[in-house]
C-alpha cells in the first residue's frame, strides 16, 4: 500500500474517531461526567494524531496521548456503570488503578507496561460486562468490548506472516484502522447504553425497587 494512501486512511480513521468521541463526550457531560472526560481525552488524542509532525518529540507525545486515551476511556465508562449500580468500592479501585498506571508508566519496562495495560483492559471489560449482562444492557456490553479491544490486542502484528497477500506493515496499519473503528463504535454505544442504564436506575428508584 502506498505511503500516501496509508497516511490518508490513517488520518480519516483518526478524524472519525475524534469526531465520534468528542460528540459522545458532549452528549454525556451533563449526566455522566467520568465517561465524558474519558471520551474527551480519547477524541483529543485522536485529533492530535491527525497531524504528523516531523519532530520525534511531538511524535512521542502523540503516542503517549493515544495510549492514555485508550486506557482511560474504557476505564471511566466502566466506572460509571459501576457507580450507577452502586458498586462504589469497585468503581474507586478501577479508577485508582487506571490513574496509578498512568502515573507509573515512565518507571515500568516495556513488557511490564504491556502486561499492566492488558490487566487494566481486562478489568475494565470484566466490570462493564458484569454490570451490563446482569442489567440486560446489550449496548453497554458492546461498548465495553469495542473500547477495550486496543488494550487487549497484541501490538506486534508484523510478527505474523501475511505474505504474499499483505505486507506486515500494511497488516499492522489495517489492524490499527479496525481498532480505531471499533473505538468509534464503542463511543456511540456507550452514549446510548449509559443513557438507557441511567433511565432504568431512575425508574427503579421511583418505583422503590
Q: How far apart are CA 11 and CA 52, in angstroms?
A: 9
What's the grid cell of residue 38? Answer: 474519558
pLDDT at residue number 156 = 43
Q: Which domains does the chain have, with CATH numbers?
A: 3-207 (1.20.1070)
pLDDT averaged over 10-residue windows placed end to end, the chain, 209 residues: 67 92 95 94 90 59 87 95 94 94 87 90 95 93 94 56 48 78 95 93 72
Question: How many other CB atoms are there within 10 angstroms of residue 89's CB atom?
Answer: 9
105-111 contacts at long range (C-beta below 8 A, 24 or more positions apart) = 105/64, 105/67
Whole-model pTM: value is: 0.87
CB 39 within 8 A of CB 73: yes
CB 31 within 8 A of CB 66: no
Q: What are phi and psi of 52, to 5 degrees?
A: -120, 80
30-37 contacts at long range (C-beta below 8 A, 24 or more positions apart) = 31/194, 31/195, 31/198, 32/80, 32/194, 32/198, 34/76, 34/77, 34/79, 34/80, 34/83, 34/95, 35/73, 35/76, 35/77, 35/79, 35/80, 35/190, 35/194, 37/72, 37/76
pLDDT at residue number 162 = 37
pLDDT at residue number 97 = 93
Query: Going by C-beta distance under 8 Å and a sequence separation of 6 or more, which residues neighbour residue 3?
Result: none
pLDDT at residue number 5 = 65
Amino acid at each position: 500500500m502506498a505511503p500516501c494512501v496509508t497516511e490518508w486512511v490513517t488520518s480519516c480513521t483518526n478524524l472519525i474517531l475524534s469526531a465520534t468521541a468528542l460528540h459522545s463526550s458532549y452528549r454525556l457531560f451533563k449526566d455522566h461526567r467520568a465517561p465524558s472526560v474519558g471520551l474527551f481525552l480519547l477524541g483529543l488524542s485522536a485529533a492530535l494524531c491527525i497531524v504528523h509532525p516531523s519532530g520525534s518529540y511531538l511524535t512521542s507525545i502523540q503516542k503517549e496521548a493515544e495510549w492514555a486515551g485508550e486506557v482511560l476511556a474504557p476505564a471511566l465508562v466502566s466506572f460509571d456503570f459501576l457507580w450507577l449500580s452502586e458498586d462504589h468500592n469497585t468503581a474507586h479501585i478501577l479508577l485508582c488503578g487506571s490513574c496509578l498506571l498512568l502515573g507509573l508508566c515512565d518507571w515500568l519496562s516495556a513488557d511490564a507496561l504491556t502486561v499492566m495495560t492488558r490487566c487494566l483492559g481486562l478489568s475494565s471489560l470484566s466490570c462493564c460486562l458484569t454490570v451490563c449482562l446482569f442489567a440486560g444492557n446489550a449496548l453497554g456490553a458492546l461498548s465495553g468490548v469495542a473500547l477495550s479491544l486496543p488494550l487487549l490486542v497484541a501490538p506486534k502484528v508484523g510478527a505474523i506472516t501475511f505474505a504474499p497477500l499483505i505486507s506486515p506493515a500494511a497488516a499492522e496499519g489495517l489492524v490499527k484502522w479496525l481498532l480505531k473503528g471499533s473505538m468509534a463504535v464503542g463511543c456511540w454505544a456507550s452514549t446510548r447504553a449509559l443513557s438507557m442504564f441511567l433511565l432504568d436506575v431512575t425508574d427503579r428508584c421511583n418505583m422503590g425497587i
